[in-house]
Amino acid sequence: MSVERSPPVVVVVEPESPGNIGTIARGMKNFGLKELKLVNPPPIERDGEAYGFAGHAREDILPAAEEVNFETIVNEYHTIGTTAITGEDSRRHIRFPYQTPAEVAESLQTVDAETALVFGREGRGLNNNELAELDVICSIPASAEYPVLNLGQAATVVFYELRSLMLSETQLPDIERERADEPDIDRLHSFFTKFLTRVEGREHKRQKTALMLRRLLGRAHPTQREVSRLTGLFRRANNKLSQMNESSE
């Protein structure tokens, strides 16, 4: 049975140019996206570049843009971060594995989740610390000689590939399952991180393993029951380890 699907929200982290904000808003309007959130944006003037570049998005999307902080997005949404620079080595989990926009669209077709598309700064993009907190990494295949797209161009390409998510209900495939709530997935990460501190003494290994789980869950779209089972498993493991430590003292 089909269920109503909420379009992804669009988040731009520390945009430098109001014109790019307007361009992104216009691309959102073109492909059915409605909600724009900005992290530490520049001033947006009614007679400035943002409104000049926004086209008809100046009527609704741009005026309704909300200023938020990065952690709020991480805590409340299934997050998809975009980057031009990827890691091709499976041992480097911050930027690998990554999905193309088409693969992201295919993945989101089978899950009902509050999703945020996160774009970075014009010159530097999202940094590694920010990418490490996001669930899925997306990159647009481009020429190896010059893979970096303009922020507005990159956003429009992603919106185009995700357009099928905003079609009418009769045109959408049935939803196969729902992704677990983000607070519950974060709770699982907390229990897993606590487990790692007890069984892995090397900090760099703990960080890599924790990030590997985040990437795995980001791709897998676990159900509520799956997350509950895994959380319970790591909670019991942590309790057992605590009891063992107490008895050995």
d(CA 100, CA 123): 21
Residue type, 71: E
pTM of the model: 0.68
pLDDT in tens, 143-188: 777 877 888 888 999 999 888 777 544 444 454 567 888 889 999 9
pLDDT in tens, 71-115: 999 999 998 888 876 555 555 556 566 778 888 888 888 777 889
d(CA 38, CA 34): 13
CATH code assigned to 9-177:
3.40.1280.10
The more confidently predicted of residues 86 and 232 is 232
Of 65-69, 138-142, 232-236, give the lowest mean pLDDT range: 138-142
Whether the Cβ atoms of residue 220 and residue 212 lie closer than 8 Å to each other: no
| Annotated domain spans of the chain | 9-177, 180-248
Which residue in the block uniquely carries the two structure tokens 């073109």?
30
What's residue 170's pLDDT? Answer: 41
Residue 21 is encoded by which pair of tokens?
A: 């904000």
- In the chain, the largest separation of any two C-alpha atoms, in whole Å, equals 70
pLDDT in tens, 13-53: 999 999 999 999 999 999 889 999 999 999 999 999 999 99
Q: Is the pLDDT of residue 56 over 90?
A: yes
What's residue 14's pLDDT? Answer: 94
What's residue 1's pLDDT? Answer: 37
CA neighbor of 221 nearest in space, from 135, 162, 133, 93: 135
CA neighbor of 160 nearest in space, from 6, 8, 27: 27
Which residue in the block uniquely carries the two structure tokens 């905003």?
166
pLDDT in tens, 201-231: 788 888 888 888 888 888 888 888 899 999 9
**CB atoms inside a 10 Å sphere around CB 204:** 8
d(CA 163, CA 172): 11
CA neighbor of 9 nearest in space, from 140, 155, 157: 155
